[in-house]
Chains A and B, each alone.
Chain A
Amino acid sequence: MSEALAQPANVPVRDDAPRPLGSVVTERPLVRWLLIAVALTFLGLFLVLPLVTVFAQALAKGWQAYLAAFSEPDAQSAIRLTLLVAAIAVPFNLVFGVAASWAIAKFEFRGKNLLVTLIDLPFSVSPVVSGLIYVLVFGSRGLFGPFLLEHDIQIIFALPGIVLATIFVTFPFVARQLIPLMQEQGTAEEEAALTLGASGWHAFRTVTLPNIRWGLLYSVLLCNARAMGEFGAVSVVSGHIRGLTNTLPLHVEILYNEYNFVAAFAVASLLAGLALVTLAIKSVLEWRYADDIAAGARRH
């Protein structure tokens, strides 16, 4: 260099043993603990406290009152309806998701990106709008309203409407999880299976499915949680007929609006429990099978 050397730091030689200065790529401990405190306080206040409230309120008047909420026939029919809806909607979206990701991940064709965007569409639609569109199609003043009325088919304010709305809001769950996963895995293994004489279906069952099973389980889990907990969309198409078209979340709403708080929170605690189980399994899957769940999780 033509320029003079930088000013030498004028440091006297010291005799004391050097203490570690601390890592250069982190903040000072004080700042670190301050940030941790801010983050944990925020999470506690906004996320944990509401969750605790659900259980605290549900048990506010003791176990007896808590359990009584479930022996009510309306509550039981709400549980049955919720399970039934999930039992239809989740398998539907499972089959759809696997088919869609097979077509999208294993083949190259025009318009693929558009297709992916369209599958993702329900995520960006407000739940209320998701319900509304089915009312517009099947409602008494909707597109097919007169036709359905004539043939005495009830979709809105009945099970089919609830199922449809639930399918809509959970439509992308499985597909969006599996597409990147299957894309990352490529087609080599399937091609190898085919050259070894496997049929397409056999190759799918023995090669593809084992590769995506954890990702599949993960997405089904999330899909199920949303299906059982959906409120806005179902609320619009259900008609709130007690004992008939009330799912668990709708039942919670009715009880709450009737100031029957213990029962409302008791039923809510059931759903919160479902959420906790879902989170727990999800976390375990993420810790143990990170690479098998999400594409790109592998570090290079």
Chain B
Amino acid sequence: MSKSVREPPKPRRRFRQKSVIPGFGLTLGYTLTCLGLVVLLPLATLVLKASGLGLSGIWEVATDPRVFSALRVSFGVSLLAALTASIFGGIVAWVLTRYDFPGRKLADAVVDLPFALPTAVAGIALASLYAPNGLVGEQLAKVGIEAAYTPVGIFIAMVFIGLPFAVRTVQPLIAEIDKEVEEASAILGASRVATLTKVVLPPLIPAVLTGFALAFARGVGEYGSIIFIAGNLPYVSEIAPLLIVIKLSEFDYAGASAIAVIMLAISFVTLLAINLIQAWSRRRFGYV
């Protein structure tokens, strides 16, 4: 414990702390210019357009039966898909981190495939696999499951697209688990199952939730990998992003903007939730 040294006078809060390193003005200026022109201005235009409608206008678009059902499909199926991706993604992350088996590194690399594979490619591949005459679709049809051109197909595409988020957020935490903590639990008499449920899993929950939220947000906005397999039947398997495209092709900018703003609002709430989860887990588990 060091003795308290005389505190230096508190510096006046300034915009930037002094530094000998050059280039601050140039790089920050360039950053802000790019950000403003590429990201903020177009997004502001969207908000402007939507605010022209007013809340009641947006509400009117949202409650249009076709729009409403598209939003319901997008959010509902995405929730289910994110849940599935989180459960299996958790297992995948556990297996990849904790067990050694031939082909582990390859399997680990494969997890990132949905990040790298263009969505349109994934879309047509899934569509042909799950079509009634496709490799998997045929088998599913035998047990009475119609995958392609139904919400089941949307679900499959969303699991595909969400899986890497679920795996990659949990994986580093599993790698960081202190083996001694598990040993401590075993020594204190806990069975392996009890060790897993009481000691190993609870600290992983924030990461699992984060992965779930990321997969959910991605699923809601996803377009390319879904439209081929979904069949896009209004009221049944039509997703919200597709409806934006349809409205745009009808030059209904206002309607498209309203749906977009609703989707944006939901993804911001999701982002906020992620931040809250992380802040909570930092406070709760801290560094030991």
State yes or no: do A and B touch (Cβ within 8 Å). yes
In B222-247, which residues have CB < 8 Å from any A CB? 222-224, 228, 241-242, 244-245
**B116 & A279 in contact (Cβ 8 Å cutoff):** yes
**A53 & B135 in contact (Cβ 8 Å cutoff):** yes
Chain B residues with Cβ under 8 A from A136's Cβ? 42, 45-46, 49, 253, 257
- The yes or no answer to B99 lying at the interface (CB within 8 A) is yes
Type the 1/0 row for B1-45, where 1 means its CB is closer than 8 Å to any CB of A.
000000000000101110111111011101110110011111101
Type the 1/0 row for A18-53, where 1 means its CB is closer than 8 Å to any CB of B.
000000111110001001101110110111111101
**B117 & A51 in contact (Cβ 8 Å cutoff):** yes
- The yes or no answer to A122 lying at the interface (CB within 8 A) is yes
Among A48, A124, A187, A256, max chain B CB count under 10 A is at A124
Minimal Cβ-Cβ distance residue in B for A111: B15
- The yes or no answer to B83 lying at the interface (CB within 8 A) is no
Known: A115-B35, A231-B123. 18 other contacts (CB 8 A): A27-B192, A47-B163, A48-B110, A54-B121, A100-B27, A106-B24, A108-B19, A115-B31, A129-B264, A136-B257, A137-B45, A141-B251, A142-B45, A168-B39, A225-B116, A229-B118, A252-B120, A264-B124
* Residues of chain A at the chain B interface (Cβ within 8 Å): 24-28, 32, 35-36, 38-40, 42-43, 45-51, 53-54, 57, 95-96, 99-100, 102-104, 106-110, 115, 118-119, 121-122, 124-129, 132-137, 139, 141-143, 164, 167-168, 171, 187, 190-191, 194, 200, 203-204, 222, 225, 228-232, 235-236, 248-250, 252-253, 256, 261, 264-265, 268, 271-272, 275-276, 278-280, 282-283, 287
* Residues of chain B at the chain A interface (Cβ within 8 Å): 13, 15-17, 19-24, 26-28, 30-32, 34-35, 38-43, 45-46, 48-49, 88, 91-92, 94-96, 98-99, 101, 103, 105, 107-129, 135-136, 156, 159-160, 163, 179, 182-183, 186, 192, 217, 220-224, 228, 241-242, 244-245, 248, 251, 253, 256-257, 260, 263-264, 267-268, 270-271
A selection of 7 A-B contacts at a CB cut-off of 8 Å is: A25-B179, A43-B111, A47-B111, A127-B241, A132-B248, A141-B251, A231-B119
